[in-house]
Amino acid sequence: MSLTDTYTLANGETIPKVGFGTWQTPDGDVAESAVLSALKAGYRHIDTAAIYGNEESVGRGIAKSKVAREELFVTTKLWNSNHSYELAQKAIDESLQKLGLDYVDLYLIHCPNPKEFRENWQKANAQAWKAMEEAVEAGKIRSLGVSNFRSHHLDALMQTAKIKPVVNQIYLNPSDQQEEVVAYNQKHDILSEAYSPLGTGKIFTVPELKEIAATYKKTVSQIVLRLSLQHGFLPLPKSVHEDRIIENTQLFDFELSSSDMAAIDALKGQAGVASDPDK
Q: Cα(217)–Cα(96) distance, rounded to whole angstroms?
A: 42
Q: What share of the chain is helix, strand, coil (3-state, %, to 5)?
A: 45, 15, 40
Strand, helix or coil for residue 38 = helix
Contact by Cβ (8 Å): 90, 82:
yes
**Phi, psi of 191, rounded to the nearest 5 degrees:** -75, 135
**Which of the residues are catalytic?**
52
Tally of residues, the chain: 279
Cα–Cα distance between 227 and 265 in angstroms, integer?
Answer: 9
Can you name the residues that pair with 169 across neighbouring β-strands? Answer: 147, 193
Helix-helix angle 151-158:179-187, to 10 degrees? 30
